[in-house]
Structure formats: C-alpha cells, structure tokens
Amino acid sequence: GAGVSQSPSNKVTEKGKDVELRCDPISGHTALYWYRQSLGQGLEFLIYFQGNSAPDKSGLPSDRFSAERTGGSVSTLTIQRTQQEDSAVYLCASSLTGTGIEKLFFGSGTQLSVL
C-alpha cells in the first residue's frame, strides 16, 4: 500500500479482555516496529521485526503482550487480560532495511482505551 496502515484506529475494551491490533507495513519493507505512546509522552519501544530474524521482544512490558509477523508482512500485537495502564496509542512503523540509518514510516496508530 501507499503507507503504513493500522487497524482499528480506536479500540475501547473492558479490563480483562484481550485485544488484537493490526499493522500493514509498506510493501517491501523488511523492518517493522511497534511503539507505545502514553498521553503527552514520548515513544516507548515494544518490539522489532527484521526480515526472517528472531524478533527483538526486549521492550514488551509483560508476558501479557505478544506480537507476530506473518509472511514477513502483516503484524499483529496482542494484549491479553488488558489493564487500565495499557491505555495508550500503539504505533507501528516500518522501514526498508532496518539498518538504522534510514527513516521510519509510521501508521496513524491505534488509540486503546481500557475501561
């Protein structure tokens, strides 16, 4: 596609429910990133996929968070048993090679609200 696409754009859920957030990166981009942004804050790294390498999951805050990337393209971030502190904007980004000397292209994010 023309850009990084995320869905849903907004998600309201009840505490304890599971949620799935989807990211469609730019076609041909080998690197995919998930970040979390709480209100008025910077971006917190969650997970990084690069090609067929094992993902870097070091930013996931707890074992309730998991992510996968199927076929080197679409990625899904799953949050199990959601808590109120999980409320944030979840941003996905992709880049061509993941070398670090290139720009990231961001989606518009998913605003997650846990009631």
Partner 1 sequence: SQQGEEDPQALSIQEGENATMNCSYKTSINNLQWYRQNSGRGLVHLILIRSNEREKHSGRLRVTLDTSKKSSSLLITASRAADTASYFCATVGGSGSARQLTFGSGTQLTVLP
Per CB under 8 A, contacts with partner 1 among 49-68 are: 50, 56
Among 66, 78, 83, 99, binds partner 1 (CB under 8 A): 99
CB of 36 to partner 1, least distance (A): 11
Q: Does 93 bind partner 1 (CB under 8 A)?
A: yes
CB of 114 to partner 1, least distance (A): 17
Q: Which stretch binds partner 1 (CB under 8 A): 19-27, 63-71, 79-87, 106-114?
A: 106-114
* Exposure on the CB side of residue 2, measured as CA atoms within 13 A: 0
Under 8 Å between Cβ of 106 and 92: yes
CB of 35 to partner 1, least distance (A): 8
